A = this chain, B = another copy of it.
């Protein structure tokens, strides 16, 4: 982050119906199955987006659902997008939001952060540097993710208070002790983490929606050394300038994710009609705004 002076994470949520023109054109002439052709187009699109904004961001955050819906070719495309981003010097956060009982959680960790031993040799996972996780089922469902992350020099970001309106349904419920559910989850996330000797930051992060900036200061109080992954800027209504409390432990305390606002920047009024150029301008604008806050 220091080298790039950036805290921006590029979200990749490719919709085959809304790809940059070049991506579709490059593969449209091939004779393939729909899933193969769509996965190839998605891959071309994602590579182009990464190339356009790589200098302004520190990581990509692929939304796994968007690749999974394209079947086996989608998974293969995801792997190549991840490799492309890594070659550009970027970190990879797998936006998976997984949570499951111990043996299944371990399988997800092997899939995304580690590898799987088999009688036929070791099967490498996606090689992500971090994944997102859902806390609903409890600490024993997060522990295998954290253990695998630590073995592989990776991290886990646990959903705490998310950016969608539905966060009010359960996350915001008041508990018998007067706290909100998200405050209780925040406390457990703080306890689960181990702070690194150099950065002082925990190896267990939290997903904290940028659409509820009134909570960011309280969450920082509950999780003083936890890196926050802050989705919801742009298309969902969050504003970078409202997130200053996230950066209390230093600039690396807050990672700001943006996807549609960058990828679709060329559709905004007054923007360049060139998707790559407009994306670069928007990513650079976000980078500069965020870096100036801390």
Contact B170 A119 (CB under 8 A): no
Contact B184 A166 (CB under 8 A): no
List chain B residues, Cβ under 8 A from A136.
99, 134-136, 159, 170-171
Give chain A interface residues in 76-120, CB to chain B under 8 Å.
76, 79, 95, 97-105, 107-108, 110-111, 116-120
Give chain A interface residues in 54-75, CB to chain B under 8 Å.
63, 65-66, 68-75
A136 to B38, CA, bound (A): 31
List chain B residues, Cβ under 8 A from A166.
137-141
Copies in the complex: 2
List chain B residues, Cβ under 8 A from A249.
none
A184 to B174, CA, bound (A): 12
Contact B164 A110 (CB under 8 A): no
Q: Does A267 contact B (CB under 8 A)?
A: no
What is the 8 Å Cβ interface bit string for chain A, positions 167-183, against chain B (1 contact, 0 not)?
11111011110100100
Known: A63-B104, A63-B107, A164-B138. A174 touches B171 (CB 8 A): no
- Chosen A-B contacts, 24 in total, with CB atoms closer than 8 Å, are A13-B107, A16-B116, A16-B119, A16-B120, A17-B117, A34-B120, A38-B116, A38-B119, A38-B123, A66-B107, A69-B108, A69-B111, A72-B76, A101-B236, A134-B136, A136-B170, A137-B159, A137-B170, A138-B166, A138-B167, A138-B171, A139-B169, A140-B165, A173-B176
